[in-house]
Amino acid sequence: MKATILKRIQDRSAQVSVVGMGYVGLPLAVEFARGSFRVVGVDVSAEKVDLLNAGQSYIPDIPTKVVGDLVAEGLLSATTDYRALKDADAISVCVPTPLRKTKDPDMSYIVSAADEIAHYCHEGLLIVLESTTYPGTTDEIILPRLVSNGFEVGKDVFLAFSPERIDPGNKEFGVRETPKIIGGVTPACLEVASALYATAVDTIVPVSSTRAAEMAKLLENTFRAVNIGLVNEMAVMCDKLGLDVWEIVEAAATKPFGFMPFYPGPGLGGHCIPVDPQYLSWKLKTLNYNARFIELASDINGSMPYYVVDKVADGLNRRRKPLNGSRVLVLGVAYKRDVDDIRESPALDVIHLLDEKGAEVLYNDPYVPTLRHEGVPDLSSSELSDKLLAGVDCVVVVTDHSDYDWAWVAEHAALIVDTRNATSGLKAPQAEIIRL
């Protein structure tokens, strides 16, 4: 079986299926299709499937022309029907792994995908889990479902874990340019998975096991979460000491060794950094261990939206205005610059807190025309104008999209709370600018 699938990968006769065609799955499917594989995407969303089959992209990083050309060539298609897996030689699983409100992993999407794969599993099949999760997931959830069919992993079928490393909006590092960590259940599994991914990614990084690959991904994002927590607390401390945290970070960053700059902000957002470390923390709790750095960083980062709203209230108070009844414009609701993704965005917490305290909240985001999310009022992006900026009591910069003209914003707004240092260096005597 190993020789057969390696040959099919080499001559591009293998059919690849990608389960979950979102921010991770679609770019991966496109890269495999560009490598001359016939790729079938499987997703529960009929809307995504219809768009893909019509040759349209719904992710900003993937141009519609690229999708359209691949669909026209017969290299890329999509379906909601899991029966497509019966014809697959390789399956990459890129389904969501969110957290429940109790901060324990919601594994339902992985379990559902694993059950479907087990149902259509056949000899010679490669399965690679890409969804970020706790160490042991591949061995504990995917593997038992395959061996229950009588297959021997590493001989009849092949199983590996290769964590996604998608960075939405990154123009320099896409799927192909970002090194790919791969851990196999057996050496044969690693060999087959590496052979497949080497057709789509320039650099393969093999590790000793699926657990090692799972842990490596969690280390990457825990590193970022902890360091962002540190600099967010540094921002609070600098504020109490009457210092500018942005100046402090830039000065420290001149050291050519032993320091890596991180920057404060209104909190953490996105599908990785706020979520992934919690998988590890949860797993360690089952082993009677408290992941103290993770928990502390989560507490600090989670408190930043409250800190931002306090800054708004303080600025309004100096103008003899209560937060209750004031008009507050939030600039940017996506979790990071120049993307349309609002998952775990700190803007959602900021808006919720402002609304809870009685403010009239408006927002503008060129990438997010409407906002429909639990815990915040239904809103539509307001058109930016001189009149709007002058007519609100406070502007809160949450996401520093490159589309914004910060000098123009500062020229017309009376009070700005800037959580991203977007207005650095601007001279705006008519506006009071409060930075973290």
Residue 383 one-letter amino acid = E
Per annotation, catalytic residue among 94, 189, 272, 394: 272
* Nearest-angstrom CA–CA distance, 200 and 29: 9
Query: What CA–CA distances, in Å, run from 369 to 56, 337, 365?
Result: 19, 15, 7
User: What pTM, to 2 d.p., does this model score?
Assistant: 0.93
With bands split at pLDDT 50, 70 and 90, how would you rate the model's confidence at 212? very high
**158 near 223, Cβ under 8 Å?**
no
Judge whether residue 428 has pLDDT over 80. Answer: no
Strand 180-184 to 158-161 pairing: antiparallel
| pLDDT tens by residue, 140-157 | 999 999 998 899 999 999
Whole-number Å distance between alpha carbons of 350 and 334: 12
Reported confidence tier of residue 101, pLDDT bands at 50, 70, 90 = confident
pLDDT tens digits for 21-63?
999 999 999 999 999 999 999 999 999 999 999 999 999 999 9
State the maximum Cα–Cα separation within the chain, in Å, rounded to a whole number: 76
Q: Cα–Cα distance between 69 and 56 in angstroms, integer? A: 10
pLDDT in tens, 213-265: 999 999 999 999 999 999 999 999 999 999 999 999 999 999 999 999 999 99
* Percent of all residues in the chain with a pLDDT value above 70, rounded to a whole number: 100
Q: State CA 315 to chain mean position distance.
A: 32
Q: Is the per-residue pLDDT at 272 higher than 90?
A: no
CA 135 to each of CA 180, 196, 287, 415: distance values in angstroms, whole numbers, following the listed order:
17, 23, 12, 47
Residue 95 has pLDDT above 80, yes or no: yes
- Per-residue model confidence (pLDDT) at position 404: 97
From residue 64, alpha-carbon distances to 21, 53, 55, 68, 281 in Å are 15, 11, 7, 6, 39
What does the pLDDT look like over 337-374, one tens digit per residue?
999 999 999 999 999 999 999 999 999 999 999 999 98
Of 194, 185, 187, 272, whose CA–CA distance to 228 is shortest? 272
CB neighbours (10 Å) of residue 147? Answer: 15
| Cα atoms in the 13 Å half-sphere on the side-chain side of 80 | 8
> Nearest to residue 276, comparing CAs of 138, 25, 97?
97
Distances (CA, A) of 75 to 41, 59, 65, 196: 11, 19, 14, 16
Domains and CATH numbers, the chain: 2-210 (3.40.50.720), 276-435 (3.40.50.720)
pLDDT at 366: 97
- 394 flagged as catalytic: no
| The CA-based dihedral angle spanning residues 222, 225, 228, 233, taken in that order and rounded to the nearest 10 degrees | -110
